[in-house]
Amino acid sequence: MPIRIWNRTGSKGPMKREGAASHSEKAAQEDSGQWKSGQKIKTHKPAVRNILVLGKTGVGKTSLLNYLYGFDLPTGAGLPKTGKGLHENVITRNGTTYHVFDTWGIEADSLPEWRKEVLALVRKRNTSPHISEWFHAVYYCFSASTARIEEAEVEEIIVPLLQSGCKVIVAITNAEDGFRKKEKIDGMKQYLTEELTKRLHRDPQMEIIPVVSIAGETLAGDSISRFGRTEALEAAQYNLADDIEKRLPAIYKMNVMNKLGAWKERSLLLLANGKISFVLNNNSAKQLIDLVNYDLLNTFGAIDADGDKLEAEANEYLLAAGDKKPMDRRWRPEFSRITYVKGYEYSKGLSIGLAMDVASSLLRSSKSIRENLSRRVEKTYAAIVNSMKKN
Ligand SMILES: Nc1nc2c(ncn2[C@@H]2O[C@H](COP(=O)(O)OP(=O)(O)O)[C@@H](O)[C@H]2O)c(=O)[nH]1
Ligand SMILES: [Mg+2]
């Protein structure tokens, strides 16, 4: 299991919100940079939106981004198709910074490869403890000119994205009037909705928006104007509070699992290799288990510190977004803090039991002691993890 080490330096100060503030209170808080609880916040996180655009080569991804965000990125077939990947463009509008990720190189035959890459990237960013890394919306483009929708695009990209809680908007590009265009667009909408409903077993709740990103002329000489910008931008509108509420518990949980997993690995290693002596009155087995328990307490401490940090960051973002809804205090899933692994005590010192200890010690190999202790570690780990699964 990969172990994520979170940066836990930085100020530790959970900014708990006491309750919802009214609009005027909120304004006052913003002016003074204070929460209702009176804790000062020095820096406001700027509003950040991360937008990703996906779809096969030539469907009009780059043109859509130019239209929606006012970029001037080169489009069209004349472009050298060098390499594959993501290209990040940044623009600030009304105090919000948009990081817009254009993609290129998705040909039909490279879909499986792409799916893996794109989904891994989206997952990595969407589960980051840093809110500024989350993707806020993904535009998936299909062109109404070809009206082609590959099953793999739906099944292997859009469905997993929706399942992971990502906001996906389908843009039907090249939506200008043309031969049987309306029929094609309606057909695409219907197909997508049916396929997604079938696969998700629910209403996909996904907006499908026809767009014309490039002004032009029809063959008959009529001019075509662009459209769909307002709808496309509105569909990507984003409620930070909702998103935080949705994502934070899972991210916190993942960190708990990673930290506990790391503790288990360290403990098993220690129990497999730590010194166990059989000299009379030796407490080496107990010392090993003391180390394991001490490490577990430290692990709980680290989990709490990470949780506080996550909460503090979320609150900073909520404040910057002018949100007035208090963060639900129950966002941190509870788990039972089993504070010790019961130790096998090889000897209790000079006591009446000493003779018996010595006798039993001769019967126990260090191997069986190690096995016994390792099992206890596994059991403790399983008990803690199971206690968290319930909520
Ligand atoms: N008529 C029309 N042409 C478009 C539209 N969107 C893109 N195009 C054209 O389609 C071609 C491919 O667009 P591009 O944005 O480079 O596609 P990408 O490979 O997905 O980034 C370019 O020649 C664009 O001018 C549209 O809505 N209407
Ligand atoms: Mg492009």
DSSP of 170-199? EEEES-SS-TTHHHHHHHHHHHHHHHHHHH
pLDDT score, position 61? 94
Burial zone of 77 (CB within 10 Å; 0-12 exposed, 13-18 middle, 19+ buried): exposed
Alpha carbons 232 and 141: distance in angstroms, whole number: 11
Euclidean distance between CA atoms 283 and 285, whole angstroms = 6
Would you state the CATH architecture of domain 31-227? 3-Layer(aba) Sandwich (3.40)
Cβ atoms of 238 and 136 within 8 Å: the answer is: yes
Amino acid present at 81? K
**Higher local confidence (pLDDT), 191 or 112:** 191
CA 378, 379, 384: angle at the middle one, nearest 5?
Answer: 100
Contact 198, 234 (CB under 8 A): no
Question: Pick the residue with more confidence: 322 or 155?
Answer: 155
What are the residues whose beta carbons fall under 8 Å from the beta carbon of 37, sequence distance 6 or more? Answer: 15, 16, 17, 18
Torsion-angle region of 79 (φ positive above 0: left; ψ -120 to 50: alpha; else: beta): beta
Q: Does 110 have pLDDT greater than 60? A: yes
C-beta 61 within 6 A of ligand 1:
yes
- pLDDT > 70? residue 366: yes
Q: What is the DSSP letter of 169?
A: E
Q: Is the CB of 103 under 6 A from ligand 1?
A: no
What's the token pair of residue 92? 């600030």
Ligand nearest to the CA of 78: 1
Pairing of strands 137-143, 47-54: parallel
- Give residue-wise pLDDT tens across range 324-344: 666 666 788 889 888 666 655
306-320 core/surface letters (b: 16 or more CB in 10 A; e: else):
bbbbbbbbbbbbbbb
CA of residue 49 to ligand 2 center, whole Å: 20
Distance CA 191, CA 186 (A): 9
Residue 173 phi/psi, 5° resolution?
-85, 170
Kindly provide the residue ranges of all beta strands, DSSP E only, lying in the chain, ordered along the sequence.
47-54, 85-93, 96-104, 137-143, 168-173, 208-210, 216-217, 223-224
Residue located nearest, by CA, to atom 11 of ligand 1? 76
Task: Please say if the pLDDT value at position 378 is more than 70.
Answer: yes
Q: Is there an atom of ligand 1 within 6 Å of 228 CB? A: no
Query: Residue whose CA is closest, atom 22 of ligand 1?
Result: 76
Which residues partner with 138 through β-bridges?
A: 52, 168
DSSP letters for 92-126: EETTEEEEEEEEE---GGGHHHHHHHHHHHHHHHH
The pTM of the whole model exceeds 0.85: no
Per-residue DSSP letter, 214: S
pLDDT per residue over 202-254, tens digit each?
998 899 999 999 998 877 788 889 999 999 999 998 777 788 888 888 889 99
Q: How far is 17 from 327, CA to CA, in rounded Å?
A: 7
Ligand nearest to the CA of 59: 1
Going by C-alpha positions, the residue among 121, 119, 116, 138 that lies closest to residue 51 is 138
Convert the pLDDT of each residue in 145-198 to its tens digit: 999 999 989 998 999 889 877 899 999 999 998 888 999 999 999 999 999 999
Starting from the CA of residue 87, give the closest ligand.
2
The dihedral sign for the CA sequence 336, 337, 339, 341 = positive
Residue-range domain boundaries for the chain: 31-227, 248-389
